Amino acid sequence: MTERGHRVSDVCRRLGVTSGSLYKWIKHYGDTDHQHQQISDQQAELRRGAPPSRRVSLHVRKGIMKPKISIVTLGVEDLDRATRFYGEGLGLPKYDFEGGNISFFSLEGTWLALYPREELAKDIGLPVPTQAGFSGITLAHNVASKSEVDAVLSQAVSAGAQLIKPAVEVFWGGYSGYFQDPEGHYWEVAYNPYQDLT
């Protein structure tokens, strides 16, 4: 039923079961030829708290890739400057790593890595980029209130970032703004009143 656009809460009410029971049933009795995506308690909570206009569908996971990002690597021109910005400026916990021209920061659920842009391009097998610009990618950091959005943007600017877009009320009902780190990467800082993404 959920694949046809019905909300999980509606399906559960009709069946007289909890969403947790429904997910367990799907995991246990689902199609044996495919593994169903395991939906964590956090994801289930997010879906139960989603605005009414949102629909939930269950997707069958194929292959061995898990629904997670292990490391986000940012290519940088000045590794020392970037490391200071994220470590000392933003206060991210730096992982002490010996050997290698790379910096790691341990985040909640993933890692942030900083690596020389030229070396990263070579590792991928691409020509070295000759000019900076918007790459079509932004990173996001969610906080618990509008005042925290303003505070994080202020902290980033104090640490050397450029304020790109001051925080404003946005069309989807939240509050967000953007900064650009010293290496040209764009970050959104946002407060979402509908879902706790902090």
CB-facing half-sphere around the CA of 37: CA atoms within 13 A: 15
Query: CA 124 to CA 132: how far, in whole Å?
Result: 18
Task: Tell the CATH superfamily of the 68-131 domain.
Answer: 2,3-Dihydroxybiphenyl 1,2-Dioxygenase, domain 1 (3.10.180.10)
Please state the domain extents for the chain. Answer: 2-61, 68-131, 132-198
What are the pLDDT digits (tens) for 35-67? 334 444 444 545 555 554 455 555 666 788 989
Q: What is the pLDDT of residues 95-125, one digit of tens each?
A: 988 778 999 999 999 999 999 999 999 999 9
pLDDT, residue 97, reads 81
Q: Which residues pair with 168 in a beta bridge?
A: 176
Fold: same for 68-131 and 132-198: yes
> Cβ contacts of residue 23 below 8 Å, gap of 6+?
39, 44
Which band of pLDDT confidence, cut at 50, 70 and 90, is reported for residue 130?
A: confident
Q: Which of 90-99, 115-124, 154-163, 179-188 shows the lowest mean pLDDT across its residues?
A: 90-99
% of the chain at pLDDT higher than 90: 59
In this prediction, residue 91 has a pLDDT band, given cuts at 50, 70 and 90, of: very high
Mean pLDDT value of segment 178-190:
97
Confidence label for 31 from pLDDT (cuts 50, 70 and 90): very low
Give me the sign of the Cα torsion angle 149, 155, 161, 163: positive
The CATH architecture annotation of domain 132-198 reads Roll (3.10)
| pLDDT at residue 34 in the model | 40
Q: Is the pLDDT of residue 161 over 50?
A: yes
Average pLDDT on 79-93 reads 97
Separation CA 105–CA 23 (nearest Å): 34
In this predicted structure, the answer to whether residue 128 has a pLDDT above a threshold of 90 is no
| Residue, of 180 and 35, whose pLDDT is higher | 180
Inter-residue contact 176 to 191 (CB < 8 Å): yes
> In 3-state terms, what secondary structure has residue 156?
helix
